[in-house]
Amino acid sequence: MALSRRRLLKGAAATGALFFAPMINRNAYRVFAADDTRYSNRAIDLVNRSLVIDMLGVLTMTDEDYERWFHAKDGMTAKELADFHGSGIKVFHHSIGMGGSREDALAYFADLNAFTNRYRNDFQRIATVADLDGVTASGKVGVMFGIQNAEHFHKPDDVKTFWDLGQRVSQLTYNAQNLIGCGSTEREDCGITDFGAAIIKKMNEVGMVVDVSHCGEKTTLEAFDLSTKPVAITHSNCRKLVNHPRLKTDEAIRKMAKAGGVMGITGVRMFVRDKEPTTIEHMVDHIDHVKKLVGIEHVGIGSDADLYGYDVKPEPFLKMLKGSYKASYAFRDKIDTDGFNHPKKVYDLTEALIRRKYSDDNIVAILGGNFRRLLAANWG
């Protein structure tokens, strides 16, 4: 069944290998043959030896690429495949916002399973801890299946059904209220309902990760109380630095850490800084804040974009995207953060962490080690 991203966005609104050129500058190397950008050998080594996990890295955000990659005969180009292999990201958590249609969710996971089967020489479905630990050596790009909502769970037993189809992470809500709880842009937050508590219990039983990235404050806090396994904030930033309803308070971050959770910092511009300029350095400010508040072991990366970012997309797509959210989202002209808006962005982020004097061990943890620990704690 074909399932376009435009349909999924409408549902959400309603609810080549690495190439190392000769050294040019001292300890500076080119990562891509066709690009003059140079990175330090320390940054390249850290990315190469890390299990880099983007805990919200969609494969593509446009209908056109989705239909071509997933359904058309010609499929992905050699350059697109090379961009994935050369990005430094070992695992993409492909998770999109969608409404409550169980049928659409079934079609979505059918598409993802077909995609990883079609491109089996380049991509691998990540379903177990062994898959995580073996993906780097395999030379393939890992794809973890998720949804940024849980409305497709019409009853608790549906959690097991979708687990069997490959789903490993589920947000409890998107931005709006559902039968489980309330999203971050609702006028009032109802908290977790009885039905929501039953869904969380079943998610814990099967090992599916509970994600509260888009949940309202009360719903977020209660999820930490109800879950017996570590809860993820796969992609959000710190409200202490930017007063935005989609971001997490210090209270929520502390509670997340106390329960063993991990928070992925996103590069979405209005979540990074509320004024210009907005650069990758301001993104690292959020990493700094989480580290100082609760410790380095509770922060990771969740870019909330595809490899190429938002701002290079066609204007009709951007207009449709911005129009599908409430005014409280406060979009600006640009959506991407400067320096974190291209296929090599993980290398730029690593360089920024090096400039902030993070140790190698801490950088490896941020790039994916912390989320690997959380996934293992849930999956067993």
Tens-digit pLDDT profile for residues 332-365:
999 999 999 999 999 999 999 999 999 999 999 9
Report pLDDT for 31.
61
**Domain holding 186: CATH number?**
3.20.20.140
Give the Cα separation of 240 and 290 in Å (integer): 10
Token pair, residue 79, equals: 């350059």
At residue 264, the 3 state secondary structure works out as strand
Whole-angstrom Cα distance, residue 104 to residue 208? 20
Average pLDDT score over residue span 2-12 = 42
Tell me the per-residue pLDDT of 92-125, one tens digit each, with 9 for 90 and over. 999 998 876 899 999 999 999 999 999 999 999 9
Domain encompassing residue 371: 5-379
Measured distance CA(321)–CA(13) in Å, rounded:
9
Other Cβ atoms closer than 10 A to 343: 21
For the chain, what percent of residues have pLDDT higher than 70? 90
Burial of 257: CB neighbours in 10 Å, binned 0-12, 13-18, 19+: buried
**pLDDT, tens only, 248-272:** 999 999 999 999 999 999 999 999 9
pLDDT of residue 24: 25
Residue for token pair 């780097």: 136
Which of 287, 300, 292 lies closest to 233 in space, CA to CA? 300
Residue the block writes with tokens 């001292």? 26
- Residue 6 phi/psi, 5-degree rounding, is -60, -40
CB proximity list for 43: less than 8 A, separation 6 or greater: 347, 350, 351, 354
Mean pLDDT, residues 52-63: 96
* pLDDT for res 36: 67
Nearest to 215 by CA among 256, 165, 272: 256
Q: Where are the alpha helices (DSSP H) in the chain?
A: 5-14, 41-49, 63-70, 78-86, 102-118, 129-138, 157-164, 194-206, 217-226, 250-258, 269-272, 280-294, 315-323, 345-355, 360-364, 370-379
pLDDT score recorded for residue 19: 24
CA nearest 207: which of 181, 232, 175, 235?
232
Nearest to 307 by CA among 69, 73, 135: 69
Number of domains making up the chain: 1
pLDDT at 166: 98
Beta bridge partners, 232, equal: 211, 262
Average pLDDT, the chain: 92
pLDDT at residue 28 is higher than 80 = no
Read off the pLDDT band of 29 (50, 70, 90). Answer: low
- Could you tell me the CA-to-CA distances from 345 to 41, 53, 309 in Å, in that order? 16, 13, 10
Dist. CA 338–CA 208, nearest whole Å = 34
* pLDDT surpasses 70 at 209: yes
Give the 3-state secondary structure of residue 145.
Answer: strand
Q: Which of 30-34, 40-44, 115-119, 308-312 has the lowest mean pLDDT?
A: 30-34
Q: What is the pLDDT of residues 270-291, one digit of tens each?
A: 999 999 999 999 999 999 999 9
Mean pLDDT to the nearest integer, 71-89? 97
Which is it for strands 28-30 and 38-40: parallel, antiparallel or unpaired? Answer: antiparallel
Q: What is the pLDDT of residue 37?
A: 82
Which residues does 256 contact at the CB level (< 8 Å), separation at least 6?
A: 224, 231, 233, 248, 262, 263, 294, 298
Per-residue pLDDT band for 34 (boundaries 50, 70, 90) equals low
